[in-house]
Amino acid sequence: MDTSLIECVPNFSEGRRPEVVASIVAAIENALGQPVLDQHLDPDHHRSVITFVGSPEAVGAAALAGIAQAVDCLDLSNHSGVHPRIGVVDVVPFVPVRNVTMAECVALAHWVGRQVSARHHLPVFCYGEAACQAEYRDLAALRRAVRTALTFPRPDFGPPRLHPTAGALAIGARDYLIAFNVELETDALDIAQSIARELRAAQGGLPGVKALGLRLASRGTVQVSCNLTDVRRTRPADVFYAVVAAAKRYGIRVRRPELVGLVPTLEATLGFDAATRSSLFPDEKVLSRRLGLE
């Protein structure tokens, strides 16, 4: 029995039509041979995040199937959402879970990237540990280059131009990441953006934290949207209480935090009281619990 496991967390640019996301999930599950672990849709981000785990071969096939379905049924030219994106499939990361090295995840990312570019004529950029161009190791830098460069940057695979409906694709290999958002009881976007700047590691904030201030029009509020890329040094509780403290200085309160996808381990849930932990991080939201690893 193969005990090698890789996690894949593709982000699709569709968060308002559940039936379309369901068709993408079905394609993934048919190729994977088992259900996905999690799916998260957000209408303001106009984005869905799907989490699945399997053997390298099964995960590679499932990623290709999900990408193919998204390219077939989504159109970036008709897309609007507050979250940055470069394509109908914005990002596809591969994460080593058990008996798999990062180098193997890099090789899988490159293989899938080549397949996608050949099958769909999509420009594919590699990021994270799989980066082929050093300047695109950081996903945010890659997105900026694709969206704002005067001349289209050279992709690692595929044509040197955006696909007319599918855009471009970022594919990579990385360690665990936690997507964690905190909604504020205000509609002042500048406050959310200011708090996000405080949190960012790049601005001297919390280690491994990337953050954006985003407007949630459907809820009439704003959100501090965070990616925690060093889960051993910064946990969701650290981010939450930092947002609470910053918001207090502006005289506003925060609402319930939101986890997007899964956390890797129970250790990542520490820092909250027991009731909040059990509510925010039930066993089905903890990857190690889902896989029987702890």
Closest CA to 268 of 255, 285, 256, 254: 285
Tokens of 103: 């180098």
Active-site pick, 79, 83, 110, 163:
83
- Identity (one letter) of the amino acid at 113? G
Tokens of 183: 């909604």
- Is 45 part of the annotated catalytic residue set? no
Distance between CA 238 and CA 222 in Å, rounded?
Answer: 20
3-state secondary structure (DSSP) of residue 184: strand
Tokens of 292: 């029987």
* Chain centroid offset of residue 80 CA: 18
Distance between CA 278 and CA 281 in Å, rounded?
Answer: 5
Residue found by looking up tokens 């089905």 in the block: 284
List active site positions. Answer: 83
